[in-house]
Structure 1
């Protein structure tokens, strides 16, 4: 149940209509309150006769409110239609999955809410205006506030145009997604090493649990599942982690020993959805960033500078990861594994970062050189031998691809020089790296 609640919170947080809907509802409520204040007679006559409040007649009031309502809804429809067209073009360059950064952007949601809220407010006030023949009622305070809201919408329009012009810029998109990567790493990493999972032999007598559902695993309530396993004195080995696709009828877990309500407990602790994307999936944000680089390296776009910008952000993410440890997904109790969840290790994370970029940029010397520079920079900070081995493996893959695909001797010489610099950094530190580059 907790996993489903987390998934519902994530869905609401990324839903575009929630904030505009709340602002529209606030506009309706505000109109009802101010109209009631106008009709109560509590406003002093000196305020009603002052220049601060609207003091025209019913005809002018209806014209004013009608103009505000029609203009706000018209501008909202036109501006957002043009914006969707611009985003569609940008999605062709940066990937359609990045459109979610537009839908969850608070500035866009508040802008649309301001227009719709002003439109709803104007309609609710307009229906209360009465002429002399109808009973003579002009809500002066409400009309004045409607004028204020119209000027607020003008300011929001100016803000929105500038905001969207920056949002569809590829550098801005790369920064936004790299910030998602950084937050994911902060949230899903730990400062102390965690115990390794038990050997596979531990699960020899375990019974499998099948799942008839289908979809991406978006949330997994590990703590709730561990508490259930403790109460039942059993152990659970999950076969999927957040971000994996669950196939109908395929096994989703092993339980040792099997207990009666194991299937129901695992279903309650997992929440599936039609799309990959979760606050518990560290690879999802990384793959979004990689997609920008891969599209930039496609023959139709051919923008290696954007790919280099992505590579820099990925290197920064690895530098942030230096003092932290990736979770092993194991929950122990009194020396017994209670829950074991597949987890992303350092090898898999670095593979997700660089494999596709290297494969698609294998004919671009600038991209390969930048990958080697980034790997070298990370190696200056990384002290874990196993992680340095992973970085060295990727440096070797870059050198191998360059030897097969780079035709220019000069470019190939530069790549080999950078690789020697990486090796020197690994063996002798930053001074050795400088000496290796200077000796060429």
Structure 2
């Protein structure tokens, strides 16, 4: 049951991130609500309103048909315009910033819900339209249902105004960076909280039994609770080999076990690994570093040349690195003081190198960005770290940045500014190289 629940939850999370999820749900709701109103009309709800509140009810068939037809036409036009705005947002984000941003923007619930409200109202009005009899008397006209259609349309107009406001905010780079940062920070803090209950000791797994994956995709979610139950029952320990978030190919080693396992147990373990074809920051915080890095690199590319956006990206990157420094490189899952599962994670050294290697290529010629990056290293060296070796990694990357800057910057005044920052950072650099 736990495995079924885990797979169902994972499937729901994947489907929920699709742009058509909420519109589809709301569309079905609008259709079923129209049938429900037809049932109420058969009980005489409109007849009661005609006799007691006649001003609120449309009692003419032709008028009701005209109103609903106008509402449907207007709502369809709003849907087309809103959908075009979403596609424009995705196109601009992909071309100006990074294609990796698309999954996060597509999964924006606000846009999905607004489109869903439009579709629900359109389907509701269409089915109510079919139930109208133009030649019937005023007691046969679904006046109350028509009134609700008008009210729903007014709600759609309000949603449309909010949609225009929201879409104009979503395309701004500061809001995009802030959303990425918040999601990544929440994910890292969750991992840090888990580390507090971990035992740092775990045996060497080189000689353990190795088992392979039967599927491929991005390693998105792992059900640690189920794996802990299996480990405790089978009296074994597991070492998960791929780093969470990377693309796992079919047939490569997935985990090692301290004991040799039966086929049924292996299948139970494999069922707790969920693979997807897309990456989300909420599941893999390293994707946030990739996205912000790509935004900085794209901003400094010759085709765009936007140093302001690059400076904003470095600010968010600095704060995100400061949060990551609180996390240890080791990741061990324990229960009752006993370590059962070890996970391979991307180290801080590897993370900083991957980020800085890309940024150095496009930013080394700009002294303002070089200074900004050196200020980032200065700030990070003052932060508490989960591992003292993190500071050595920062010094190494700062020296690499200065060496690249030296080969790209010819102005002596700019070089002197870089050297002053190196002195503040206490970097061991041979002045003759500059």
Number of the residue aligned with 1:150: 153
Q: Do the aligned partners of residues 64 and 377 (structure 1) sit closer, same or farther apart at CA in structure 2, a change above 3 Å counting?
A: same
CA distances 1:193-241 after superposition (whole Å, capped 9, x unpaired)? 8444546xx3343222122322221111223223212211222222113
Alignment check: 8 A CA contact 1:218 1:278 kept: no
Distance (Å, rounded) in 1 between the aligned partners of 2:398 and 2:191: 27
For the structure 1 residues 182 and 333, does the alpha-carbon distance in structure 2 shift closer, same or farther, using more than 3 Å as the test?
closer
Q: CA deviation at 1:333?
A: 6.5
How far, CA to CA, are the matches of 2:33 and 2:412 in structure 1?
A: 72
Counterpart for residue 432 of structure 2: none
Q: How does 1:252-401 map to 2 (within 5 A)?
A: 252-261=254-263, 262-277=265-280, 279-321=282-324, 324-326=326-328, 328-332=330-334, 337-382=339-384, 385-401=388-404
Match of 1:214 in 2: 216
User: Quick check: 330-339 or 142-151, which moved more?
Assistant: 330-339
Maintained 8 Å contact 1:188/1:282: no
SS in 2 for 1:271: strand
The 1:19–1:48 alpha-carbon spacing in structure 2 relative to 1, beyond 3 Å, is: farther
Please give the alpha-carbon distance, in whole angstroms, between the structure 1 residues aligned to 2:135 and 2:250. Answer: 69
CA distance in 2, matches of 1:333, 1:130: 68
What's the Cα RMSD here? 2.7
The one of 80, 84, 90 equivalent to 2:83 is: 80
State whether residues 104 and 280 of structure 2, in contact with CA within 8 Å, keep that contact through their aligned partners in structure 1: no
**Segments ≥4 residues shifted beyond 6 Å:** 333-336
Shift of residue 46 of structure 1? 6.7
C-alpha change, 1:391 and 1:43, in structure 2 (3 Å) is: same
State the secondary structure of the residue aligned to 1:219: strand
Unmatched runs of 5 consecutive residues or more in structure 2 = 429-434
Write the distance in 1 (CA, Å) between the matches of 2:183 and 2:281.
11
Q: Which residue of 1 aligns with 2:95?
A: 92
1:431 is aligned to none
Q: 8 Å contact 1:314–1:353 — kept in the other structure?
A: no
TM-score (norm 1): 0.87
Equivalent residue in structure 2 for 1:415, among 404, 407, 418: 418
Contact kept, 8 Å, 1:192 with 1:325, in 2: the verdict is: no
Asked if 1:115 corresponds to 2:154, the answer is: no
* Structure 1 SS opposite 2:196: coil
Task: Choose the corresponding residue for 1:181, options 181, 184, 194.
Answer: 184
Structure 2 residue 253 is the aligned partner of structure 1 residue 251: yes
Q: Which runs of 5+ in 1 are unaligned?
A: 427-440
Offset at 1:117? 1.0
Alpha-carbon distance in structure 2 between the residues aligned to 1:255 and 1:86: 47
1:39 correspondence with 2:56:
no
Cα 1:7–1:285 change in 2 (3 A) is farther
SS in 1 for 2:56: coil
**Number of residues paired by the alignment?**
422
What secondary structure does 2:221 align onto? strand
Q: Please say if 1:101 is aligned against 2:81.
A: no
Question: SS at the partner of 2:381?
Answer: helix
